[in-house]
Amino acid sequence: MGKIVISKVWDRLLLFLTDEQSHPQLIRVLTDEQEMVGSVYIGRVSEVVRGMDGAFVAVSNEQKVFLPFRECENLILTNRETEALARGEDLRQGDELVVQITSAAVKTKLPGASGNLSFTGNYCVCQSEGHGIHYSKKLSAEKIQELKQAIGSTDIPQRKCGSFTIRTNAGLLRDLVPLFQEMRQFANLLTEIRQTCMHRTVYSCLYRTETETAKALKGIPLNQYDEIVTDLPVVYRQLESLDVPAGIRLYQDDLLPLAKLYSLETHLKQALSKNVWLPGGGYLVIEPTEAMTVIDVNSGKGTNVKGGHRKHLYLNTNLEAAREIARQLKLRNLSGMIMVDFINMDSKEEEQKLLESLSKQLAADPIKTRLVDMTGLGIVEITRKKEYKPLKEYFLQDRKIV
C-alpha cells in the first residue's frame, strides 16, 4: 500500500499519491480559489445572454458567475414564483435565485454555476434534481441489490427531497451506517436550503464548501493507502477534523524535507514537460493552445526497426500512447478539445483496436471525458469537461517553468 502526500512545491500546495515503491503521482493542486467551488449562494441575474445560452449571475458585489440555460432545470427563485419559469430562456434581469458554483474561473472565463444543487460525500452524491436512487456502474449486480434492500428498509427522513447516486466506496462498507448518515445529512441540507433561502437576502451564502484538501480526499479510495502524510501543521489540523480511515501523520525533519524525500519537484517538472517518454521508446509531444490541446505520438527510439516488425512497433507504441494520454489528461487537468495525432497504421482493424483501448482508458477518468471519433486525416478527437485550471496555469509565473 502507498501513502497520500500533501506538501508545498514552488509555493503551491500539492497532493500526491505514492505506491509501494514511493513513486509519486500528482493528483491535485489545492488552492483557496477553488474552495468557492461547491458553495451555494443567492445570486441576482445581471444579464441574460441568449447568444451564449446562459446568464451572468452576481453572487456578491465583486463576483459574477456564468449560468448556462442547460443548468436551469428546477431553479429555486426567491423573488418570484418558480412556476413562472418554464425553462432557462425565461430568466430575466433582476431574478434572484439559488445557484451552486460548479467550476473555478479559467483564464478569462468566469466561474461556472448550476441551479441543480449537488453534494458529494465519501459514499453518495445527492442532487436537488429528481427523486430516485442510482448506483455506480462499478458496483456488482449483487452489491446493488444488497444496497437497495438495505436503503429501502432504513428510515431516511426527507430522502425524496432529491436524488442520490450511491458511490463505489459504499460497496466496500461492512456496516452501512456511514452511508445512511451521509444520506440523512444531505437530505437535511437540501431541505434546509429550500426553506431558508426564501427568508435570506441576495448574495447570502447558504452553504460553504469544504476545504480543497477535504474535497480532494473524497475522490480517493482511502482504504488503499496506509496513511496521509503532510509537513504543514495547518493541513494536519484540517485532516484531524476529518473522518478518514487512513492514518494521519505530521512529518517533521529539518534535514530532509518531505518534498525532497519523495522528489516531488522532479515529478512536478515531468508533469509540466512538453515531452513524455513511453516505455517502448516512443514519446508524446503535448502542446496546449488557446483553442485546444494537440498531442503528437512519435515512434522515437524505435524508428530503426524494419519490415513487419515496424507495423508491430507502431501498434504497440500507439497502445502505450493511449494509456499514457489518458493518464496525462488527468495529471495535467487538460480539458476542452484535445486532438491526438497517432502514428499511422495500415489496417482498419488496428485503428479499431486502438480506439477501443483509448475509449476504455478514458472511461476511468472521474471527470467526464469522451472519445468523439477519428477524422479522415487520422486525428483522434477527445473532449474533456472543464472543472479546474490546467496544471500549467498554476505555475506560469514561476521562473522555473519554461
Residues 340 and 338: their CA atoms lie apart, in Å, by 7
Q: Which helix (H) or strand (E) holds 317?
A: helix 308-332
Task: With beta carbons less than 8 A apart as the criterion, state whether 286 and 328 touch.
Answer: yes
Specify the pLDDT at position 213: 84
pLDDT in tens, 65-111: 999 999 988 889 998 876 556 566 688 899 999 999 998 887 778 99
Tally Cβ neighbours within 10 Å of residue 323.
Answer: 15
Residues 116 and 99: their CA atoms lie apart, in Å, by 7
Q: Which helix (H) or strand (E) holds 363?
A: helix 348-363
Handedness of CA 368, 103, 248, 2 (dihedral sign): positive
| pTM metric for this prediction | 0.61
C-alpha 303, offset from chain centre: 37
Q: What is the Cβ-side half-sphere exposure of residue 379, based on CA atoms within 13 angstroms?
A: 10
All cell numbers assigned to 93: 434581469
Q: In what side-by-side order are the strands of the sheet with 163-166?
A: 118-120, 124-127, 163-166, 133-135
Residue in the block written with cell 474535497: 215
Residue 98: which of 215, 199, 212, 210 has the closest Cα? 199
Specify the pLDDT at position 386: 83
Q: Which amino acid is at 238?
A: Q
Specify the pLDDT at position 399: 44
Task: With beta carbons less than 8 A apart as the criterion, state whether 326 and 361 touch.
Answer: yes
Specify the pLDDT at position 217: 85
Specify the pLDDT at position 305: 52
Task: With beta carbons less than 8 A apart as the criterion, state whether 41 and 230 touch.
Answer: no
Q: CA 345, 351, 353, 359: dihedral to nearest 10 degrees?
A: 130
62: left (phi over 0), alpha (psi -120 to 50) or beta: alpha
Cα 249 to Cα 225, 235, 252, distances in angstroms:
13, 11, 9
Residue in the block written with cell 414564483: 81
All cell numbers assigned to 240: 484531524
Return the DSSP state at 109.
B
Per-residue pLDDT of the chain (402 residues; tens, 9 = 90+): 789 999 999 888 999 998 776 678 887 888 765 567 889 999 999 999 989 999 999 999 989 999 999 998 888 999 887 655 656 668 889 999 999 999 888 777 899 999 999 999 889 999 998 889 999 998 999 999 999 999 999 999 888 889 999 999 899 898 999 999 999 999 999 999 999 999 999 999 999 887 778 878 877 888 888 899 999 998 998 888 887 777 899 999 989 999 999 999 998 998 999 999 999 889 999 999 888 999 999 988 655 555 555 667 889 999 999 999 999 998 898 999 999 999 988 788 999 999 999 999 999 887 889 999 999 888 999 999 887 788 888 887 554 444
All cell numbers assigned to 165: 447516486
Distant-in-sequence, close-in-space partners of 192: CB < 8 Å, separation ≥ 6: none
Q: What is the Cβ-side half-sphere exposure of residue 292, based on CA atoms within 13 angstroms?
A: 10
In three-state secondary structure terms, 58 is strand
